[in-house]
Structure formats: C-alpha cells, structure tokens
C-alpha cells in the first residue's frame, strides 16, 4: 500500500483508541512506583491491543517494531499513551501516536489529541496537516517574543549527560526567549511547533520513541530540524531541535554557549 494511503486506516485506529482512553475511568493517583506501573499497564496494554487489532485487520502483514531505530526496521511503531504521566493524573496533556517506520525514520505519522479533538498527520514528501489543513511554522524573527518548549526523555536518570545538558540549556534559553514552557508529550509539542503554536522546541537525550514521528511532522511543515549542534538528526542523536529556519543559527549559538 502506498504510504499516503496508510493515513486513513492509521487515523481511524488512532482516533478510536484515543476515544476509548478518553472514556476510561481512571484509578486514583498512584502513591508508589508499583501502583503507577500497575495503573499504566492497566490502560496501556488494552489500548495497544486495540490498536494492533484494528491495524492488523485494516493493513494485514505489517510488522510491529520493538526497536524503531534499527537500520533495517520496517513496520508500525506506536505510543498509545504518549503523556501517560499526565493522563493518569487526569490532566489533558496526552495523545496517541502512530508511525510507519522504514530504515530508522518515519514515513507516515498520526498524532491525535482526544482532549483537543485534533489530529496531526504527515507523510514523507507529502506535507503535514492539522485536521485536514496544511500547517506552517511560526514566522517570528525576534527570539524575545518566542515561546520555546522543552521536555526530557522518559527515565532520564539513565542518561546523566542529558540531565546536565538540559539544565545548562535551560539557563541559556531563559534569558533570551519570551518564555520557556513544557506543554506535555514531546510528540505533541513538536507538532504544535510545526503548526506555529509554539515557536521553538529542543530536547537533550536519546528519545527516538517520541521523536521519530514528530520529526516527520516538523520536517514536512518546514521547520529546521537537527540536533542541538546543527547536525542532521537521526534516531541515535543525543539531542533534538526544531526551529523556524530564520531563527536556527541564533538558537544553535545560544545552546552551544559555555
């Protein structure tokens, strides 16, 4: 099936799963890691099963990937509870993401926010859209009026260098932009940057699970996408930056400052 024809079954499956999650009765907030793990499995596992059942029926024969960054990987990769921490707290900042991945990069992506009734889609070379309308990044030219967003990979304690860089970069960005915020799931924040709602997004640490699909939306919308040093981003990169092209050099310079 051509990549652009995947978007319809992908969107239907993602929006169906998100609707199920939106209707679910949440457990009380977790008091311990064991409680959180049980609560997460209780919502993530059924949602994953629902997504797989729908897609396996609609597009038979496509593999489900465990390591989407592998050079020879081809198939589906999903995060059905992107923003699970917020979701389990009853906050609205979560989404369902699904990508068709080939050779370590997404070729088609759907990101759906049920609480906002919004769906981002993109295909490689086919553009990016929000609820069917083409999107484009911010047109701002002054960092002082920009809203920048950042986030950290899950289990960042396993990436001590990323903790150091996240703290250092925040200290560099806070004085030069209008505001720095964290609006929840990494993938949705990058999609919002692609649509010009947020002006800049950066992150330190390996986070291919959250970045692969969002990178496609950012690229197709026209953002400059790279690592924090301006080098081409890959699933193995230790940082990520999505920024309007006129601001790219200024942001890279700021992040590189000692």
Per residue in 7-52, pLDDT (tens digit) is 999 999 999 999 999 999 999 999 999 999 999 999 999 999 999 9
Half-sphere exposure of 204 (CA within 13 A, CB side): 18
Contact of 29 with 128, CB cutoff 8 Å:
no
d(CA 183, CA 192): 10
Query: 147-151 and 74-82 as β-strands: parallel, antiparallel, unpaired?
Result: unpaired
CA 52 to chain CA centroid, nearest Å: 20
Q: What is the percent of the chain where pLDDT is above 90?
A: 89
179 beta partners: 147
Q: How confident is the model at residue 208 (pLDDT cuts 50, 70, 90)?
A: confident
Which of the four pLDDT bands, split at 50, 70 and 90, describes residue 1?
low
45/40 Cα distance (integer angstroms): 8
The SS3 assignment for 248 reads helix
């Amino acid at each position: 099936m051509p990549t652009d024809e995947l978007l319809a079954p992908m969107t239907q499956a993602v929006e169906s799963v998100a609707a199920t999650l939106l209707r679910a009765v949440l457990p009380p907030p977790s008091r311990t890691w064991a409680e959180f793990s049980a609560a997460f499995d209780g919502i993530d596992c059924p949602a994953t099963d629902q997504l797989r059942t729908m897609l396996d029926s609609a597009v038979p024969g496509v593999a489900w990937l465990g390591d989407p960054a592998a050079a020879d990987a081809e198939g589906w990769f999903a995060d059905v509870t992107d923003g699970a921490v917020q979701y389990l707290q009853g906050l609205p900042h979560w989404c369902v993401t699904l990508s068709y991945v080939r050779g370590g990069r997404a070729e088609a992506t759907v990101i759906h926010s049920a609480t906002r009734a919004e769906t981002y889609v993109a295909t490689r070379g086919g553009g990016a859209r929000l609820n069917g309308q083409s999107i484009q990044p911010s047109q701002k030219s002054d960092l002082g009026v920009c809203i920048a967003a950042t986030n950290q990979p899950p289990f960042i304690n396993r990436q001590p260098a990323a903790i150091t860089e996240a703290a250092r970069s925040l200290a560099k960005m806070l004085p030069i932009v209008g505001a720095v915020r964290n609006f929840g799931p990494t993938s949705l924040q990058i999609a919002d940057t692609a649509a010009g709602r947020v002006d800049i997004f950066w992150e330190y640490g390996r986070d291919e699970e959250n970045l692969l699909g969002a990178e496609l939306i950012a690229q197709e919308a026209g953002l400059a996408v790279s690592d924090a040093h301006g080098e081409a981003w890959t699933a193995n990169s230790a940082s990520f930056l999505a920024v309007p092209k006129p601001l790219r050099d200024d942001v890279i310079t700021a992040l590189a400052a000692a």
